[in-house]
């Protein structure tokens, strides 16, 4: 767990997204080409592999604050909507995108539903912990070799 927090989150998420692209259980649905990631967004995601990047970010979030559910993730990935002359307002992210991503991560065996001290939600499995740790250690080695 400490390796996950020791590396740059952006680098970790992009590396884990590359690993998730190799996983057959995690694939971008057909409808994902046409959707925004939330009501607060004005445009579609720019990245072609945005589904895998979002799944990797969700995986890292579960590692940090798990057990976590769909509503907490919707709040985390939500944002401010520009409403013209009216004051900006905060909106939650798309629940469908997060829900489908969680279901795919669960079918890949990276997360599981569990109740921990009265809190229900999804937590990492040993396979998920291993994926994040190996990726974080690889990034730490790259940074160490790059600094010499």
Taken in order of first residue, the domains within the chain and their CATH numbers are 2-147 (1.10.10.10)
Per the prediction, the chain carries an average pLDDT of 87
CB under 8 Å to 113, separation ≥6 — which residues? 106, 120, 121, 122
Interval 8-36: pLDDT, tens: 889 999 999 998 988 888 888 888 888 88
* Cβ pair 120, 67 in contact under 8 A: yes
Residue 1, pLDDT score: 59
Cα–Cα distance between 22 and 124 in angstroms, integer?
19
Higher pLDDT, 47 or 126: 126
Interval 101-135: pLDDT, tens: 999 999 999 999 888 888 889 999 999 989 999 99
Give the H/E segment covering residue 117: none
pTM for this model (two decimals): 0.87
């Amino acid at each position: 767990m400490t390796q996950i927090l020791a590396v740059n989150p952006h680098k970790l998420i992009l590396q884990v997204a590359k690993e998730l692209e190799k996983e057959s259980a995690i694939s971008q649905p057909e409808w994902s080409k046409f959707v925004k990631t939330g009501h607060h967004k004005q445009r579609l995601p720019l990245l072609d592999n945005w589904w895998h990047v979002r799944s990797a970010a969700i995986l890292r979030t579960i590692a940090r604050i798990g057990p976590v559910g769909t509503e907490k993730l919707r709040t985390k990935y939500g944002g401010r909507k520009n409403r013209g002359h009216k004051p900006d307002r905060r909106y939650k992210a798309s629940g469908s995108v997060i829900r489908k991503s969680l279901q795919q991560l669960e079918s890949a065996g990276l997360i599981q539903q569990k109740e921990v001290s009265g809190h229900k939600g999804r937590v990492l499995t040993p396979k998920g912990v291993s994926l994040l740790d190996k990726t974080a250690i690889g990034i730490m080695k790259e940074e160490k070799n790059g600094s010499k």
